[in-house]
Structure 1
Amino acid sequence: MSSRVLRRNFLRGFVVTVAASQLPGCGDDGAPGPPDPSTDPEDQDRVFPQGLASGDPSPSSVMLWVRVEPEDETGPIAVHFEVATDDAFGSIVAEGDADVVADADHTLRVKVTELDPYTTYFYRFTARNVQSIAGRTKTAPADDADVSPRFAFAACQDFIGRYYHAWKALAAEPEVDFVLYLGDYIYETNGDPDFQTSGSDRAITIPDGVQLLEDDPNVKGARTLGDYRGIYKQYRRDADLRKIHSLYPFIAIWDDHEFANDAWQDHATDFNEAQGDEKSPERRHAASQAWFEYQPADVEFDAAASPPSDIRIYRTLRYGKHVELFLTDQRSYRSDHVIPEGAAPTDRPAGAPDTVPTYGEAGKSALFPNSEVFTRNFVIKEGFDPIEAYVKPTMLGAEQKTWLVDAITSSAATWKIWGNQTQLVQMLIDIREFDIPDMFKGIYYFTVDQWDGYRTERKEILTALQGVSNLVALTGDIHAFYAAEVHLDPDDLTDAPTLVEYVTAGISSSPVQEITQGVVDSSAGFAPLAPLVPQFDQILTATSPEYKYASSNMHGVSIIEVDGASEIRVTFLQVADVKTKDFDGNVSKKSFRTVAGQNKVEAL
């Protein structure tokens, strides 16, 4: 009755590999069968509160995911799964049985193989005689298939005080083939005042955690495996998120908030060095394990290894003749930020000669000790660039950097799509000509947590990719919609662009302009800068001409359409209000195209 179970892999996230096959018919032996499983929505929500999901499609396989909520069980819970070519499950191509266990938080990951390329399948699970809703998924086309994919890309879905109206907007659009998720699937904090606002039913509980505020023990960051698992469970109960997972396979990578804000390797930055180095391999390991358990990604997790050797998420996925995805991990192998948050303004990098500027010349101020302001954010370009050139930090690490360059330069796909967490385009703001105190006048990097803080390696990679045709970076992280033409040297635009970059805003997270307003409002000393915040986009595009479009105060999701070997078209679905529970349906759209061979952004 069941297809062959080829392998069971207990890597702290139960994985079953099952091959699709023609299933033999069953004779009737006269014995009564089990009662029909319940499909009552209340039962489904009780047994499968996080819904179901699929991901990482290949031409012959796809990953399926589900979690069963334990009740009185003290041991394994039996789960039956089915895959069919029709939503009535009249043509089942694969089915099997597995147990979910507490060691994997009762999650199940099934890899279904020997499927047909570019084919829609339906899947469902049964546990405790309750049958889940049916999910829909789709395999990738064969590598040589001349098809024109259409897919969404998204990032940054903060839950605190915010709603997932952008997923509603995507669900209302014509079908896409898959969703490329570029990181910050969860936020590890429950009320970080730098970017989170509380709201009625949009709150999360962190049972253990790291206390973030000295005067409020309730504001925490996740610390333990139970903390991180709990956040995923609470996020995945959201009806709009469950809906979009049931409709489309996800291809996901992480950014920082799956572990800790502005993280590097296994170091957090919660206290900006006020409590010393925040190295925490146990916390990083727990965050990686929870991500593995709750994402239908075709990767492996080694519970016995230490970070970053416990998991590798950078990978490629081919999607027909015209598309290959290159997904990078920009947190696990990166160097620390160039300017230490706890350093003095008179300090320099260790061993640096006097010709290298002090941190103070890059903006570091004694007025803001142990702060991300003037160290990771709002950094003076003139002082920072020679410091970075001396330090030569890495974003990707040597091994991943070599892998990325080799993979892209050897790809035969028409369009090489880089799934890139943090912005490549130079993000400068020049506020010298405004009527503000002289102490603020200068040209600043908005944030050096992105590629601006790793300029040397960015140039090295772009140099190696010179001559690669039709290279497109799709980016999240910054909570804004941007379209840009990225040059080898962002300070000299006389050469042709090396690639184009399309940046999607957060599904729900605070837009970058809103965050900037919050920083300005947080200190009376910043009050003279308040009139500049509403001019954010004008200042940005005037200072940084690689940007061809900027919308820094929106939320939403994006769709890319690949028109074979001719062009790609990108549409930003922009949602203004995510703090009101009821979605008003208002979505503004802005579309662009990039013609093959041109590395240009053209508004439509």
Structure 2
Amino acid sequence: MTVTVARDAALLDPVARFETRADAQHDFCVKQDATGLEAGRWYYYRFSVADQRSPIGRTRTLPAADRYVDRARFAVVSCANISHGYFSVYKTLAEHGDLDFVLHLGDYLYEYGIGEYGDVPDRDPVPPHEMVTLEDYRQRHAQYKGDADLQAVHQQYPMIVIWDDHESTNDSYQDGAENHQPLTEGDWETRKNIARRVYFEWMPIREQNPGDFATIYRRFQFGDLIDLSMLDTRLEGRDEPLSLPFDPARNDPERRLISDTQMQWLLDGLSASTARWRFIGQQVMFAQLNIAEIPSLNEHAPQLRGNLSAINMDQWDGYAADRLKILNHLDDNNIDNVVILTGDIHTSWASEIYRNPGTLLGDLFDAPLAAEFVTPAVTSPGFPEGAAELAGVAVPVVNPHIRYVEAKSRGFILMDVNHQRAQAEFYYARDIESFDLRGQIDESKTKLVAVYSGDSRLREEGLRPSRPRTLRTALFHPPAPASASTEEMA
């Protein structure tokens, strides 16, 4: 198989050709590291075998870390269950034309069988049962890659990815999962390793060491503008989630959401960064989401401070000591301009991050230590009608650090970042159940929130949608047909 890389969409100005091989050991998926390319520019590529040719794809190399970059534009997505509807959000992104990359924060696919989670006509999962075996996981990945709208996103943009739980199974952690029954589904370690292996076969991610399918935390540098640290808060180091929100063990300093090794890697990277913005891409909500509070008695002792009763123990709220370790590091080392990007919960949030936002006479009168934007789902459902509207009003009352909640609409975040501010633009799909309405945005729901350099408070007043880039290099021909070789679009 030949991979051709060129500077132009017609492939008339090729810069490299590589020979590679597809084989059964890797489910006939092909990846090629295109070495020797220039930093910070677009390239076009095609796979060919004999007289068979793939559609032409487009990708971008990152600007060199020491280069001044005035602007970055990228989309943030998560939670795309094929059985809940069409990938209207992906169609919108593919037609956008001027993004630098797409950031996918997990739940790229779901493990459930027919009727178990979603029942939109003609969107049944393959295989029809829950994925458990190697063949099951491979078939499900192949089905998702066969979706024309998802193919079009991969064709248009490089995608930076991490897994969450549904790439293995619901509410997974290091030693088990809520949706794994050993008596009928076998050994968890075996299933987890299968899920990891197939993820590395089918997704645009390279092994950090040969045969290492476990390590996905890694860092990207976008010139001098952004350092992006991607975490694994799901399978690497995570202790079993607590079942009760008022369990005092949530403040246990020995509980881990990420391993000590990953934690030190993150803290060291935040300290060493010289970029204007330090972004953290990760899976579960970082901001406190509380029912009630107790006073802060000692800011460096998590067992003595914080949330009397939170809501979701799968989030950082269930691992308060790990979260406090990061916040103390930011504060003690005067690290600013930290923005956390999150997926997982099928809803939209914008929050200021404090050690303990419940102490109204304390932290909220200080500067926030970071900001967090949580992206809505591509298709997976949020709160039901009525409850979503109530949550949008009630949650900020108990949690004044949470500035925006939209709890039911599907969509994405467009991040527009320059040296002065990082602006999150929440866009929502008009419809995900109608094939004909794919790609249309409900402009009445658009929300803009920004954080400015040197001040992590969220601002909403006076914002305007960011301007598109003047120069667009998108491929404007239609997406590849569903019959195209799907591994060529990875």
TM-score, scaled to structure 1: 0.69
**Aligned equivalent of 1:424:** 286
What's the CA shift string for 1:197-230, capped at 9, x where partnerless?
2122101123xxxxxxxxxxx6x42111111111
Note the C-alpha offset of 1:114.
1.2
Residues of 2 paired with 1:165 and 1:250: CA distance? 17
Secondary structure of the structure 2 residue equivalent to 1:107: coil
Match of 1:590 among 447, 459, 483: 447
Aligned partners of 1:274 and 1:223: how far apart in 2? Answer: 11
379, 382, 394: which one aligns with 1:508 = 379
- The answer on whether the counterparts of 1:323 and 1:414 sit within 8 Å (CA) in structure 2 is yes
1:198 paired residue number: 119
Return 5+ residue gaps in structure 2 as ranges: 293-306, 464-490
Is the aligned partner of 1:288 residue 2:145? no
Within 5 Å, give how 1:222-371 maps onto structure 2.
Answer: 222-270=131-179, 280-300=188-208, 303=211, 310-339=213-242
Q: Give the secondary structure class of the aligned counterpart of 2:436.
A: coil
Q: Which amino acid aligns with 1:486?
A: I
Indicate the structure (1 or 2) with the bigger Cα radius of gyration.
Answer: 1
Q: Specify the alignment match of 1:476 in structure 2.
A: 343
Q: CA deviation at 1:331?
A: 1.4
For residues 447-596 of structure 1, what are the structure 2 equivalents within 5 Å? 447-466=312-331, 467-492=334-359, 493-494=363-364, 495-511=366-382, 513-514=383-384, 534-563=389-418, 565-583=419-437, 585-588=440-443, 589-596=446-453
Q: How far apart, CA to CA, are the structure 1 residues paired with 2:68 and 2:201?
A: 34
CA shift, 1:334, in A, is 3.4
| AA partner of residue 176 (structure 1) | L
Question: 1:391 Cα shift?
Answer: 6.7
For residues 274 and 126 of structure 1, the distance between their equivalents in structure 2, rounded to whole angstroms, comes to 43
Q: 1:415 aligns with which of 277, 292, 296?
A: 277
- In structure 1, the partner of 2:299 is none
1:3-402 matches, within 5 Å, as 79-147=1-69, 148-191=71-114, 193=116, 196-206=117-127, 220-270=129-179, 280-300=188-208, 303=211, 310-339=213-242, 375=243, 379-380=244-245, 383-384=246-247, 386-390=248-252, 392-402=254-264
Secondary structure at the counterpart of residue 112 of structure 1: coil
Q: Is the 8 A contact 1:184 1:477 kept in 2?
A: yes
Using the TM superposition, give the Cα deviation of residue 560 of structure 1 relative to its aligned residue in structure 2, in angstroms.
0.8
Query: 2: distance between equivalents of 1:500 and 1:187?
Result: 29
Instruction: Note if contact 1:184-1:255 (Cα within 8 Å) is conserved in structure 2.
Output: yes
> What stretches of structure 1 of length at least 5 have no aligned partner?
1-78, 207-217, 304-308, 340-374, 431-441, 518-530
Give the Cα separation in 1 of the matches to 2:141 and 2:184.
29
Structure 1 window deviating more from structure 2 (229-238 vs 167-176): it is 167-176
Judge conservation of contact 2:367–2:457 (CA < 8 Å) in 1.
Answer: no
Shift of 1:150: 1.1
Q: 1:310 Cα deviation (Å)?
A: 4.2
2:59 and 2:158 in contact (8 A); partners too: yes
- How far does residue 558 in structure 1 lie from its aligned partner after superposition? 1.1
Deviation at 1:532, TM superposition (A): 5.2
2:478 counterpart residue number: none
Shift of 1:458: 0.5
- TM-score, normalised via structure 2 length: 0.84
Q: Which moved more, 1:532-541 or 1:287-296?
A: 532-541
Residue 504 of structure 1 contacts residue 558 of structure 1 at CA under 8 Å; is this kept in 2?
yes
Q: Give the number of the structure with larger relative contact order, counting CA–CA contacts within 8 Å between residues 6 or more apart.
A: 2
**1:534: how far off?**
4.3
Cα drift, residue 445 of structure 1: 2.7
1:587 is displaced (CA, Å) by 2.7
Quick one: distance in 2 between partners of 1:182 and 1:537? 23
Question: Distance in 1 between the 2:450 and 2:221 partners?
Answer: 22
Let me know the Cα RMSD of the aligned residues: 2.3
Amino acid at match of 2:223: G
